[in-house]
Amino acid sequence: MKEEEKIEQLKKMVNQLIKVEEEVIALTEKTAGQAANSTVKYLLRAIQHDSRKHADLGRAALEVLEYKQVAGAEERKEVWDLLEKHEEMERKHKDFLAEMKKLTNTPALQYIFEQIWNDEKIHHAMLDTLMKKRFEKDPAKYWGALLGT
């Protein structure tokens, strides 16, 4: 398969991924609206939020596949302050969540607090990647590539 065909196939697949995530968003919205149990409702909303994130990540992938520059020097300036603040907040938050986990043996609470911490690690990794990498076309390969700075 030629590189151009791979790109077109990936675009189709990413668009399908976005469509499925949007269907999950609608389904979880409906189900959460009908749920009588508040805990179930909040967990469904968390799933819905992740599906929104996945759809947005798919849209970012389409930007790369279209060879558009999506993170350069200007964008880095925009997120630099956020990254510095996030790192400071993350350090405090990690200790805070660890303290919360120590206060309970309830598996459901342990699970919820662990999910929050896992998401925080992912957020930091995304911000860090925006600061240290360039998302743009690799002219040598005709491909949307993640290139080192």
pLDDT in tens, the chain (149 residues): 787 888 889 999 999 999 999 999 999 999 999 999 999 999 999 999 999 999 999 998 888 787 665 556 666 677 777 777 877 888 788 889 889 989 999 999 999 999 998 888 887 788 777 667 655 554 444 444 544 44
The domain of 20 spans 1-66
pTM: 0.75
pLDDT at 94: 82
Q: Considering 66, 91, 111, which residue would you say is the last residue of a domain?
A: 66
**Structural domain contains residue 143:** no
142: left (phi over 0), alpha (psi -120 to 50) or beta: left
Q: Are residues 80 and 59 in the same domain?
A: no
How far is the CA of 98 from the CAs of 36, 50, 88, 95, 124, in angstroms? 31, 23, 16, 5, 18
pLDDT at 3: 77
Number of compact structural domains in the chain = 2
**Structural domain contains residue 147:** no
Q: Are residues 48 and 76 in the same domain?
A: no
pLDDT at 53: 95
Two tokens, residue 57: 């990540």
Q: Are residues 53 and 87 in the same domain?
A: no
Report the Cα 36 to chain-centroid distance in Å: 29
